[in-house]
Structures are given as C-alpha cells and as structure tokens.
Amino acid sequence: MNTMRKNETGGAVPVVSASHLRRDYAISNGFLRRPDKLQAVGGVSFEVPTGQTLAIVGESGCGKSTLARMVTLIEQPTGGNLRIGGIDVISASAQEKQALRQKVQLVFQNPYGSLNPRKRIGQILEAPLEINTLLNAVQRADKAQSMLALVGLRPEHYDRYPHMFSGGQRQRIAIARALMLNPSLVVADEPVSALDVSIQAQVLNLLSDLQHDLGIGYLFISHDLGVVRHIAHHVLVMYLGHTVEHGEKEVIFSRPLHPYTQALLGSTPGLSGNGPTRQRKVLTGELPSPLHPPPGCVFSTRCPHATDQCKRERPELHPLQGRLVACFEAARLS
C-alpha cells in the first residue's frame, strides 16, 4: 500500500506498527469503592514487516490475546499508538476503521467453534465478500472456489457442512475465510494448538506457503515455542503485559538473555539453545495478579537473579547483543 511508511532502518514496509500500546480495564470492587485498574497490556511496541511473521509468546495471562484484539480493532487501546497501513487507528474515522478491518483478519484457535455449523462452506467463505464488496453471486462463488483450492481443499467441499471435516481441514477453511478480503495482515491466535501434532505441521507449512505466495504479514500468538521456531521471523516475549525480550528469532533462540526467556526455552525439549539455557530451568511460583503487579521488574517475584534494584525499579527495554531486553542483569548473565 502506498500509505505505508518504511521502518526506521529503511527495511521492509510494516503492515502494522505499535508504539507503547496499552490496554487497561476497570474492575468493579464493590458499590462504594473505586474500581481497580487491571493493566492487561502495559506499553508494548513492535512492527510487522510485509511478508514476515512476528510471534508473540508467553504464559497464559501475559496479554497476548488482548494485544491481538487491539490489532484486529475488536478493542480500542487505552493508550499508545497503533498504525495499520500507515493510518493511525486510534484517531481514524469510522469509515477508515471499517476499511482497516478488511485489511486485518483473524484466525481463531478452535477450528470446531469458529465455523457456523448451519452454513455450508461456500456460504461461510462468501459471507465476507457479500458484506464488504460489490461482487455478484457468480463472482463470489468463483473466488470461494479459488480460495478452497489455494488452501488444499477440493471443489466438492464447497457444498459441505463444517461437521463433515476434520480439525485440520476446518482450520484450512478458517484460513481461507480470513484471506477472502485480501488482507495485508493475518492475526493467528494459537491457530494450531487444538490440532494433532502431525496436522500442526501441515497447517504451518500452508501458512508459510501462503505468506510466500501472497506477501501476507502474520502476527502469530502462541505459547508453543516449537511452533514459533518453525514459522516466525521475529519473536516478542511478554510477561504480565510487558515486553521482556524482542528480536530476531535465531538471535533469541540461540542465546536468550532475559531470565524469563531462558526459562521458557529451557523448559522446552530441544530448544534450550546455547550458553545460559543448556540446563533445564523450571519456573517456580505463580504469575502475579495484573491487579497488583510487582513494583519493580514484573518478573522479579520469580526470577532467581533478582536484586534489590530489580524489586524497586522497572527496567526499560534496551539494545543488547542484537535484540531488545528489559533486564538489569542481562549483560552480566550473558
């Protein structure tokens, strides 16, 4: 798109960029008491270049899905800046937001719950075109048939119902539906976690092939680091709504610097990398409540290397060994 700007390094044009993106929720705390504030995302910055994949990883409750809902315009950010195709989402008009929603599509986690069981596959695929375009019935059917072929399904599948397909086939249909409006970005929220391992590889290969052929950007939400290593170009590690490490996939997987990233990789067989994660690291303790986060580093309550400074001050992201890391002790531990 001509409205997209290049990133600061002059590289690939980002299909989406976020700066200090934040999402807070007011939580009721009784009739006469002031509501508590839950900070689900606490100032995250990233960009997704055209034709590349940024993976967002972290434990359940770290803010991954909230981030996905903001990027897909399901929820409005509380603060920060979000641009899609060079357009500021927060200040965009209703008409601009409607157009932007067509450029950002979502693939859901559960292939069994994301398709209407009362609709035939052809109707499911044609619905986005019927709502958002002026194509006639024949043109819509032709595009739906073409999209079925693109995701590896046969023409006879057009008139069948979702219950007649396997989980892997249903996820292919969900991917086809997401591509019907020719989006520049697909947000995939745990798209293979509900599938058998053998089927996961097929769907991931399909996503990679589609990205290569169509130049789509992916924002890939996952807790499975094996899946992330297969598909991602860049990785952003989140903890309690904050970015703790962000960089190119190979840089982070080969030598993670943040203790949380080290623990994530060290707990996954075959992904321990070099240096500080050769030995298995097991996280102890529970994820703190986002209603009452630690005053210093958000990871300080579970970090084996936490100092008094970590417990008092929150570290900012800073460049170190080819990535961004938010840790006072990262240089010493590397």
| Predicted confidence band of residue 133 (pLDDT cuts 50, 70, 90) | very high
What pLDDT does residue 282 have? 67
Within-domain flag for 259: yes
Averaged pLDDT for residues 146-160? 96
pLDDT of residue 302: 93
Determine contact, residues 71/7, Cβ cutoff 8 Å: no
**pLDDT value for 334:** 72
Q: pLDDT band at 244, cuts 50/70/90?
A: very high
Whether residue 77 lies inside any domain: the answer is: no
For residue 325, is it within any domain?
yes
Q: Mean pLDDT across the stretch 198-224? A: 94
In Å, what is the CA distance from 216 to each residue of 19, 32, 212, 317? 21, 50, 8, 28
Predicted confidence (pLDDT) at residue 136 exceeds the cutoff of 80 = yes
Cα 54-102-142 angle, rounded to 5 deg: 110
Output the pTM of the full model: 0.90
* Contacts by 30-39, CB closer than 8 A, 24 or more apart: 36/291, 37/291, 38/290, 38/291, 39/241, 39/290, 39/293
* Structural domain that includes position 265: 255-334
- The string of DSSP codes covering 173-210 is HHHHHHHTT--SEEEEESTTTTS-HHHHHHHHHHHHHH
Examine the pLDDT at 249 and tell me if it is beyond 50.
Answer: yes
- Average per-residue pLDDT in the chain? 89
Q: Is there a domain that residue 45 lies in? A: no
Domain assignment present for 191: no
Average pLDDT over residues 46-66: 93
Amino acid code (one letter) for 98: Q
Which H/E stretch holds residue 262? helix 259-266
Instruction: Confirm whether 97 is domain-assigned.
Output: no
Number of domains in the chain: 1
Residue 215 lies in a domain: no
Residue 311 lies in a domain: yes
Task: Yes or no: say if 253 and 321 are a contact pair by the CB < 8 Å rule.
Answer: no
Structure tokens that stand for 228 in this block: 């992330």
Contact 174, 111 (CB under 8 A): yes
pLDDT tens digits for range 12-46: 569 999 999 999 998 877 666 677 888 999 999 99
